[in-house]
Amino acid sequence: MIPVILSGGSGTRLWPLSRSSYPKQFLSITEEKTLFQLTLERISNLNHSLVNFQNPLIVTNESHRFIVAEQLRQNNVTAKILLEPVAKNTAPAIAAAAELALSYGEDPVLLILAADHVIQQQEAFNQSIEIGLAAAEAGQLVTFGIVPSSPETGYGYIKAAGMVEKDQAIQAYSVEKFVEKPDIKTAQSYLDAGSYLWNSGMFMFKASVYLQELEKYNPAIVKSAKASVSNSKNDLDFVRLDKESFERSPEDSIDYAVMEKTDKAVVVPLNANWSDVGAWKSVWEVSAKDENGNVLRGDTIVEGTTNTLVHAEHRLVSILGLDDVVVIETSDAVLVANKNKVQDIKKIVEQLKKTHRSEVDQHRKVYRPWGSYDSINNGSRYQVKCIVVNPGQKLSLQMHHHRAEHWIVVNGTAKVRKGDETVLLTENQSIYIPLGETHALENPGKVPLELIEVQSGSYLGEDDIVRFEDLYGRA
């Protein structure tokens, strides 16, 4: 079996914490570990005696590749990282993963998981996976349906060919039909019927079976996936799909492209406290609460407040006399919302996009393959950043047309190339990089390098970088 983790998506409904450059799957939303890292742990806690598990395959996009690599390193997990050149929805992404898996010379079972789900009961998850594995090995296309606990209007549903009782032994049911997100009255009728499950977006099947079924209903996707894999390039731990081939693929979800059409679909119930944490209300629902129903993270003080979610990252947040609210504080934005209206956060995000606000894409702290930088202060002709370079990492050899830089080391050791000169700097030492001078920064030590950078000049944008050499293949 090869676990395939789909790690695309921008998670805009969890703004301002989740942003397109650093979306929710890579954030600590419900625990100290990120949702992506919790997914990796869930895989590692499966019963590996049942089947020969191979290293996972992560499908992500170009801009998130180094975030994925770093979080894999933190979890001590080895994986292949498959890079989509453009987003084409789940059917082409899974087709490319299946083609890559078959290129290894075997026909493995693929366990398709989303990177941003919460599943709180590992044992129940394991049991459903075991039932699904038997069906997948028999040539079925397995989907996992969540046993509903309420009449939810935010999920699609799967109608199983039989009654699904919470206490009965888990089994695979034939799929009667998939249905779209219902209104509240219809959702209640589904709950009462006892044969409807929430569509989780998790699947399991042999790579060859999925491609054979996809070939029947959308052969253009298979053709594109096959070409994009055969013309792919390996780069470090990354497999770069051929852009021209992948762009030719139709855009479609696995549900529409295959699952709703095939006669091989079966559904395995999953009753494991699942959530796709698609909005701040669902984060509140799956998180541990105090005696007043509050979920408090960070530096918070609440008084006379109930059933509220407060997430404070950089300063004290105090709440007085409020019920059913969400307060999310980040370094550059604060959200205050009625907990029952958080599905409408997308309207705020749309306004940010229309006015070209950077807060829709970037946090003040920006992650790079070598580390991160935090923009502490700025004016019309200056900017101050705190830069962290991870051990053994190096910024590109570069120059700027419009700004000069002054670096002051506050922790660790910096190896600086300035023109033809190379110097080592330690704590409290500094160096000046004139406008137009080629330069590079490297951390040769064993601890993170921290320095303060003061930029000054007529233009301070991140696009004023001319790169001559780069370890990470950036233009």
pLDDT digits (tens, 9 = 90+) for 183-231: 899 989 888 888 889 999 999 999 999 999 999 999 999 999 999 999 9
Which part of the chain has CATH 2.60.120.10? 365-469
- The mean of the pLDDT values for the chain is 91
3-state helix, strand, coil split of the chain in percent (to 5) is 25, 35, 40
Q: pLDDT tens-digit profile of 76-131?
A: 999 999 999 999 999 999 999 999 999 988 899 999 999 999 999 999 999 999 99
Q: Which of 174, 98, 102, 88 is nearest to 138 (CA)?
A: 174
Radius of gyration over every alpha carbon of the chain, rounded to an integer in angstroms: 25
Q: Can you point out the beta strands (E) in 215-279?
A: 233-235, 238-240, 265-270, 274-275
What are the phi and psi torsion angles at 28 (to 5°)?
A: -85, 95
Class of CATH domain 2-275:
alpha beta
Name the residue with higher pLDDT: 439 or 47: 439
pLDDT exceeds cutoff 70 at 475: no
Task: Give the per-residue pLDDT at 51.
Answer: 77
Question: How far, in Å, CA of 425 to CA of 413, rounded?
Answer: 6
What is the helix (H) or strand (E) element at residue 72, kind and residue range? helix 65-74
Q: pLDDT tens-digit profile of 348-358?
A: 999 999 999 98
pTM: 0.86
- 3-state SS, residue 169: coil
Question: How far, in Å, CA of 467 to CA of 321, rounded?
Answer: 54
Architecture of domain 365-469: Sandwich (2.60)
Q: Can you point out the beta strands (E) in 207-350?
A: 233-235, 238-240, 265-270, 274-275, 295-297, 300-303, 309-312, 317-320, 325-329, 334-338
pLDDT exceeds cutoff 70 at 284: yes
With a CB cutoff of 8 Å and minimum separation 6, the contacts of 229 are 96, 99, 100, 103, 241, 242
With a CB cutoff of 8 Å and minimum separation 6, the contacts of 182 are 153, 157, 190
Question: How far, in Å, CA of 262 to CA of 370, rounded?
Answer: 45
Instruction: Please list the residues that pair with 303 across neighbouring strands.
Output: 320
What is the helix (H) or strand (E) element at residue 286, kind and residue range? helix 280-286
Mean pLDDT of 279-283: 92
